[in-house]
């Protein structure tokens, strides 16, 4: 398993059009909304190339206006749905692109919104414009986070992918094959609000024995340090 997808720099289109990889209906299998029926908007491209990333975010691409994205989302939500729909903006790296118009459209239609980010790209202008009425989950992949993201405490939750043999003193030393030392959030270091949570999940190496080792390591971390364990529940359900 080796990620060979090309690194892409930040882009900012004033017309709000986004480079979209795919939009699909599934069950959220990770983080704070695990188990929620969700529409995923996977945005194309990433500013990193994590060696062990198993997500395809470049093979299919389509430029879409937020109105078209909204129409697609609505078409995927079952008429019988009894919950407020959850829309997950993921990637790649969502904040690599200009999300302001899409977030406005989604907020105007009262969706629950989750955004997944690696925390490197500054999205201060979106936050300051009060357009991020969303649950933001940061899953760091390198040894730094944009300072404004830390200082303004805009992250709702943190999520780490754990691999056996790459943990010291309750903290991962690598994530998806990239060194993240010395960075790891603690309430003492980042002055987290009390409600901020840390999720950990085992790396899927597509190998039964290795995956079991990763799961046991993640389990032990959660039990000892009070992190919340996740297992990529959607894969167990054979969903995307």
Residue 136 inside a domain? The answer is yes
- Of 120, 107, 115, the closest CA to residue 136 belongs to 115
DSSP state string for 193-236: -TT-EEEEEE---S-HHHHHHHHHHHHHHHHHH-PEE---HHHH
Residue 190 inside a domain? The answer is yes
pLDDT (0 to 100) of residue 189? 44
What is the tally of structural domains in the chain?
Answer: 1
pLDDT (0 to 100) of residue 96? 95
How far apart CA 123 and CA 110 sit, in angstroms, is 22
Residue 41 inside a domain? The answer is yes
CATH of the domain at 146: 3.20.20.70
Residue 63 inside a domain? The answer is yes
How far apart CA 32 and CA 156 sit, in angstroms, is 9
Number of Cβ within 10 Å of residue 201's Cβ equals 25
CA distances from 168 to 49, 58, 120, 162, 179 (A): 24, 33, 23, 11, 13
Rounded CA Rg of the chain? 17
Residue 12 inside a domain? The answer is no
Burial 48-69 (b: 16+ CB within 10 A, else e): bbbebbeeebbeeeeebebeeb
Beta strands in 76-117 (DSSP E): 86-90, 112-117
Number of Cβ within 10 Å of residue 154's Cβ equals 18
DSSP state string for 152-197: TT---EEEEEE-TT-EETTEESEETTEE-TT----HHHH---TT-E
Residue 79 inside a domain? The answer is yes
Task: Tell me the three state secondary structure of residue 26.
Answer: strand
pLDDT (0 to 100) of residue 132? 59
Domain that holds residue 211: 18-236
Q: Mean pLDDT per segment of 10 residues, for the chain of length 240 residues?
A: 91 94 96 94 96 93 98 94 89 94 92 94 72 82 82 82 91 88 54 69 94 96 91 84
Q: Which two tokens stand for residue 35?
A: 């188990």
Residue 74 inside a domain? The answer is yes
CA distances from 196 to 51, 76, 187 (A): 28, 31, 9
pLDDT (0 to 100) of residue 187? 46
3-state class percentages of the chain: helix first, strand second, coil last, to nearest 5: 25, 25, 50
Residue 158 inside a domain? The answer is yes
Q: How far is CA 119 from the centre of its chain?
A: 10
């Amino acid at each position: 398993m080796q990620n060979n997808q090309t690194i892409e720099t930040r882009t900012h289109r004033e017309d709000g059009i986004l480079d979209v990889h795919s939009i699909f209906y599934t069950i959220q299998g990770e983080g704070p909304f695990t188990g929620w029926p969700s529409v995923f908007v996977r945005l194309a491209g990433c500013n990193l190339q994590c060696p062990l990333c198993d997500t395809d975010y470049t093979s299919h691409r389509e430029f879409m206006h937020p109105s078209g994205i909204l129409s697609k989302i609505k078409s995927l939500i079952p008429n019988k749905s009894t919950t407020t729909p959850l829309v997950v903006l993921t990637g790649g790296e969502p904040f690599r692109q200009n999300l302001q118009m899409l977030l406005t459209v989604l907020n105007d239609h009262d969706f629950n919104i989750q955004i997944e980010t690696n925390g490197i790209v500054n999205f201060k202008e979106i936050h300051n414009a009060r357009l991020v009425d969303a649950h933001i989950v940061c899953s760091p992949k390198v040894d730094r986070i944009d300072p404004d993201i830390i200082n303004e405490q805009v992250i709702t939750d943190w999520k780490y992918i754990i691999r056996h043999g790459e943990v010291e003193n309750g903290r991962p030393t690598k994530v998806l094959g990239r060194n993240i030392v010395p960075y790891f959030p603690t309430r003492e270091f980042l002055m987290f609000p009390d409600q901020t949570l840390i999720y950990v999940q085992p790396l899927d190496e597509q190998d039964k024995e290795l995956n079991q080792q990763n799961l046991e390591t993640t389990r032990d971390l959660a039990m000892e340090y009070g992190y919340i364990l996740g297992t990529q529940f959607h894969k167990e359900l054979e969903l995307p």
